[in-house]
Amino acid sequence: DRLLRLLLRRFADNLGEQAGTRRADLGLFPRAIDPRWLTRPRPYGVPTLSRWGVREHLAGSWRAVLTYRDADLDVDLGSWLDAGIEDGNAALLDVLVDAAAGRFRPIAVLTAGIRRWARFGEGNRAAAERIARELAERLESTQGLMAHKTEGNHQ
């Protein structure tokens, strides 16, 4: 757990806006961090994601990836989203919303990736489409926009 938190802090420091970006780290971060491991209870009962600073480090690293990475993110983002729709793992989705909050490029990249995941990914498509709608509304709200209700999407 301590090693993972150190790795997350290093990624956040190296990928942060003030520190600049390193292309190798942009590709390495999403593959080095297993999202399911972050939410699994540790021997002392607290998942790593619940530890102080972890969520902020993850959001900062994802923000850099969503802002600066040019290569396709579908596989990396898909594995994170797949883990996030499992019971008890909603905090992983919160990390992505925090990462993109109020920033145009991260919101655009994340929204497009979520739509592709919901449409073409494997697994429970109904749950994926529901989560995609919820995330789109949350991302719009971070910009102060109202989510538009379309016919068939009334609550």
19 CB-contact burial (10 Å; exposed 0-12 / middle 13-18 / buried 19+) = exposed
Any idea which residue has 């420091």 for tokens?
Answer: 13
pLDDT for the residue numbered 20: 52
What span, in angstroms and rounded, lies between the C-alpha atoms of 68 and 99?
A: 13
What span, in angstroms and rounded, lies between the C-alpha atoms of 79 and 62?
A: 13
H helices, E strands: number in the chain:
8, 0
pLDDT tens column, 24-81: 677 788 888 889 888 888 777 788 888 888 899 899 889 988 988 867 788 889 999 9
State yes or no: pLDDT of 153 exceeds 70.
no
Residue 147 gets which letter from DSSP?
A: P
In this prediction, residue 21 has a pLDDT band, given cuts at 50, 70 and 90, of low
Count how many Cα atoms sit within 13 Å of the Cα of residue 61 in the half-sphere of its side chain.
26
pLDDT tens column, 107-140: 999 999 999 999 988 878 888 898 999 998 888 8
What span, in angstroms and rounded, lies between the C-alpha atoms of 111 and 109?
A: 6
Please check whether residue 89 is in contact with residue 35, taking contact to mean a CB–CB distance below 8 angstroms: yes
In this prediction, residue 15 has a pLDDT band, given cuts at 50, 70 and 90, of low
